[in-house]
Amino acid sequence: MTTPPGLTAAVFDDALREIRAAVGDEWVFTTPADTALYRDAYSLFWDEPEERLASAAVAPATVEQVQAVTRACNARGVPLYPISTGRNLGYGGSAPAYSGSVVLDLKRMDRVIEVDERNGSCIVEPGVSYFDMYRHLQSRGSRLWIDVPDPGWGSMIGNALDFGGGYTANPYRNHFEAHCGMEVVLADGEILRTGMGALPGAQTWQQYRYGFGPYLDGLFKQSTLGITTKMGFWLFPQPEAYFTASINLPRYDDLPMLVDTIGELENANIFNGMPGISSPVLFRGGKNPLDFPEIPEGAEMDRLARETGLPCWSARLTFYGPEQVIRAQWAYAKSRFPTASFTEHALVKLPLSPADMERIHKPSFGIPSLEMFAMGARSAHNPNPTDGHFWFSPIIPRTGEGFIAANRIIRQTCQRLDIPVLLFSPPVSSWWRAFILVMAIPVHKDPARNQHLRAAVKELIRVCADHGWGEYRTAPAFHDAVMDTYSYNNHIVRRVNERIKDALDPNGILSVGRYGVWPKRLREQGGRK
């Protein structure tokens, strides 16, 4: 067993004794074989001295146990790293951001506390996975959908707290935005309820998010300030139908107008699903749609389009709603593009038929799956599987010009720095009004390759920042590097985060180092890397 840095073995033993008394011996893990299960399987530091390892792990079953563990750690300065289902692969897995932390594994807190059909909402504990919630809703014949990320084994709470996203209609696919009300255990063991949860007896916890005074929930997004033990979410009433159709435009120069107009249509609620941009001419011959090539110069792209007869661009709109309404919305959308041609994809009536179930992309219908793990896995087309990957995901301007610039510069930088890419997305609109690019970079359990990758990706982060593109989320290897780029006014964002951290968690025990926020004692020791 390792001891957290700065603590004596005796103090740590004493903390563990108190923790065992609270949660039971069986749920305190200290042997090397057990703590190894908390390694980040896709770590960029695998087997290197900097790998972030847990000193121990604790799995409470109730909020009271979470409080007891937190108090035991707070009294002795033991770093504590909460996870919900700990499947944050590509962004850190189940490992702590700071080596030597005790991982607080909340998987056993897996109760669906409430589903309110009339209000279209639920309250869940952190251990409730998308698979769990889907089964729960199915088993009670609910008419409500969840919105799921690609991997269905994650936690509704863990994913939302790390600002994850999914695929269905607009208010739901931003998982943090779709929440309403939180319960959080603070570093001193006190319980905070946000929004209307602060008013004893209120029946509106899952109806009005904002309560009274400053909106505190944002403090717990990508945060080091608390342990979330309950969260309310708004759920999507199953629509009557699903429809997607594409708008095809012939010329390179059409992209800015295309992006602007679909933005306007989306902002006016003419469609509610996630829009997608593609390029039929660049993807001709069945190329992988998740591997957007470098966009050539305009004249070259126009020449290719003329030669092949394929459009330069297409935008795919997705609609969820009553068929009648969708048809009218699509007719209006078409009227906005006089020079376009259109491709209508199937209209799917809901609930899904078994045949449709075999064809569809499940997350677009709120159905959890793990099919996305085909990416990089061994298959008939890929004899050399990776050991995992991490995500690189900058926010770029939501304009045609912005997308083209980001695509070219990031592609060229990856090539220059020898950064391999498994997936290079088109602009993604998980978040309303924003575009992100998502790249998956393969990882191998090979320190030499990983050292190269870490240095190269830090350089890529700087190149992106020089263009005004910043990552929305990143693997722990890059938390500090990305936080460094959010530097307006001498890093005031980080400095304010640090002031809040010091006030709410003066002993600096929770989620140390996560998202580049370090407690006072480690800042003073130069612990920030």
Partner 1 sequence: MRVLTLIAALAMATPATAATERPAPRPDPAKGAAVFAKWCAPCHAPGMRHPGTAALAAKYNGQLPPELERRSDLTPDMVALYVRAGISLMAPFRKTEISDPQLADLGAYLSPRPHAKGARK
Ligand X SMILES: Cc1cc2nc3c(=O)[nH]c(=O)nc-3n(C[C@H](O)[C@H](O)[C@H](O)COP(=O)(O)OP(=O)(O)OC[C@H]3O[C@@H](n4cnc5c(N)ncnc54)[C@H](O)[C@@H]3O)c2cc1C
Tell me the one-letter amino acid at 442. Answer: P
User: Which range, of 80-88, 267-275, 442-450, 458-466, touches ligand X by CB under 6 A?
Assistant: 80-88
User: Which range, of 225-233, 256-264, 342-350, 386-394, touches partner 1 by CB under 8 A?
Assistant: 386-394
Q: Which of 173, 398, 473, 494 is catalytic?
A: 473
- Alpha-carbon gap, residue 509 to 432, rounded angstroms: 34
Kindly state whether residue 90 participates in binding ligand X, applying the rule CB under 6 A: yes
- DSSP-based three-state secondary structure for 165: strand
DSSP classification of residue 296: P
Kindly state whether residue 154 participates in binding ligand X, applying the rule CB under 6 A: yes
Tell me the one-letter amino acid at 241. Answer: A
- 366 φ/ψ sector (left φ>0, alpha ψ -120 to 50, else beta): left
Tell me the one-letter amino acid at 136. Answer: H
| CB of 120 closer than 8 Å to CB of 206 | no
Question: 9-23 and 63-76 helices cross at what angle (nearest 10)?
Answer: 170
- Alpha-carbon gap, residue 409 to 468, rounded angstroms: 12
| Torsion sign (Cα): 62, 65, 69, 75 | positive
Judged by CB under 6 A, the residue of 192, 227, 259, 395 near ligand X is 227
User: Which range, of 253-261, 379-387, 505-513, 520-528, touches partner 1 by CB under 8 A?
Assistant: 379-387
When CB distances are held under 5 to 8 angstroms depending on the partner's kind, the choice from ligand X, partner 1, none that residue 82 binds is ligand X
| CA 350 to chain CA mean position, Å | 27
When CB distances are held under 5 to 8 angstroms depending on the partner's kind, the choice from ligand X, partner 1, none that residue 514 binds is ligand X
Q: Which is nearer to partner 1, 1 or 500 (CB)?
A: 1
Judged by CB under 6 A, the residue of 67, 155, 279, 393 near ligand X is 155
Kindly state whether residue 354 participates in binding partner 1, applying the rule CB under 8 A: no
Nearest in space to 62 (alpha carbons), one of 183, 229, 233: 229
Kindly state whether residue 3 participates in binding partner 1, applying the rule CB under 8 A: no
- Alpha-carbon gap, residue 101 to 51, rounded angstroms: 12
Judged by CB under 6 A, the residue of 43, 65, 70, 88 near ligand X is 88
Q: Which of 38, 91, 167, 242 is catalytic?
A: 91
Kindly state whether residue 85 participates in binding ligand X, applying the rule CB under 6 A: yes
- Contact set for ligand X, span 508-527 (CB under 6 A): 511, 514
DSSP classification of residue 238: P
Kindly state whether residue 232 participates in binding ligand X, applying the rule CB under 6 A: no
Kindly state whether residue 45 participates in binding partner 1, applying the rule CB under 8 A: no
Compute the half-sphere exposure of residue 231: CA atoms within 13 Å on the CB side of its CA: 26
Q: First vs last Cα of the chain: how many Å apart? A: 25
Q: Determine whether 332 is an active site residue.
A: no
Tell me the one-letter amino acid at 315. Answer: A
Q: Determine whether 473 is an active site residue.
A: yes
Q: Which is nearer to ligand X, 166 or 250 (CB)?
A: 166
Q: Determine whether 486 is an active site residue.
A: no
Tell me the one-letter amino acid at 77. Answer: G
- Alpha-carbon gap, residue 237 to 527, rounded angstroms: 48
CB atoms within 10 A of CB 374: 11
> Cβ neighbours of residue 344 under 8 Å, at least 6 residues apart?
243, 245, 330
Judged by CB under 8 A, the residue of 153, 283, 472, 486 near partner 1 is 153
- Which helix (DSSP H) or strand (DSSP E) does residue 346 occupy? strand 341-349
User: Which range, of 32-40, 241-249, 313-321, 501-509, touches partner 1 by CB under 8 A?
Assistant: 32-40
- DSSP-based three-state secondary structure for 447: helix
Q: Which is nearer to ligand X, 96 or 280 (CB)?
A: 96
Six-digit token pair at 413? 């930088």
- Alpha-carbon gap, residue 26 to 197, rounded angstroms: 33
Q: How far is the CB of 320 from ligand X (least distance, A)?
A: 18
User: Which range, of 37-45, 74-82, 328-336, 501-509, touches partner 1 by CB under 8 A?
Assistant: 37-45
Q: Which is nearer to partner 1, 127 or 519 (CB)?
A: 127
Tell me the one-letter amino acid at 92. Answer: G
Judged by CB under 8 A, the residue of 1, 11, 37, 198 near partner 1 is 37
Six-digit token pair at 330? 């699509």
User: Which range, of 84-92, 240-248, 308-316, 482-490, touches partner 1 by CB under 8 A?
Assistant: 84-92
User: Which range, of 7-15, 310-318, 385-393, 395-403, touches partner 1 by CB under 8 A?
Assistant: 385-393
- DSSP-based three-state secondary structure for 139: helix
Six-digit token pair at 264? 């306007």
- Contact set for ligand X, span 445-484 (CB under 6 A): none
Q: Which is nearer to ligand X, 3 or 369 (CB)?
A: 369
Q: How far is the CB of 37 from partner 1 (least distance, A)?
A: 5
Q: Applying CB under 6 A, what is the total number of residues that bind ligand X? A: 33
Judged by CB under 6 A, the residue of 79, 149, 280, 513 near ligand X is 149
- Alpha-carbon gap, residue 251 to 133, rounded angstroms: 45
Kindly state whether residue 379 participates in binding partner 1, applying the rule CB under 8 A: yes
Kindly state whether residue 92 participates in binding partner 1, applying the rule CB under 8 A: no
Kindly state whether residue 215 participates in binding partner 1, applying the rule CB under 8 A: no
CB atoms within 10 A of CB 473: 22
Q: Which is nearer to ligand X, 106 or 295 (CB)?
A: 106
Tell me the one-letter amino acid at 324. Answer: Q
Kindly state whether residue 400 participates in binding partner 1, applying the rule CB under 8 A: no
Q: How far is the CB of 298 from ligand X (least distance, A)?
A: 32
> Are β-strands 102-105 and 56-58 bridged in parallel, bridged antiparallel, or unpaired?
parallel
> Residue numbers of the site for partner 1 (CB under 8 A)?
27, 29, 33-34, 37-38, 41-42, 57, 59, 85-87, 89, 93-94, 105, 107-108, 127, 131, 152-153, 368-371, 373-374, 376-380, 382-383, 385-388
> Residue numbers of the site for ligand X (CB under 6 A)?
82-92, 94, 106, 126, 149-151, 154-155, 157-159, 161-162, 164-165, 227-228, 372-373, 375, 511, 514
By annotation, the residues acting in catalysis are 91, 472-473
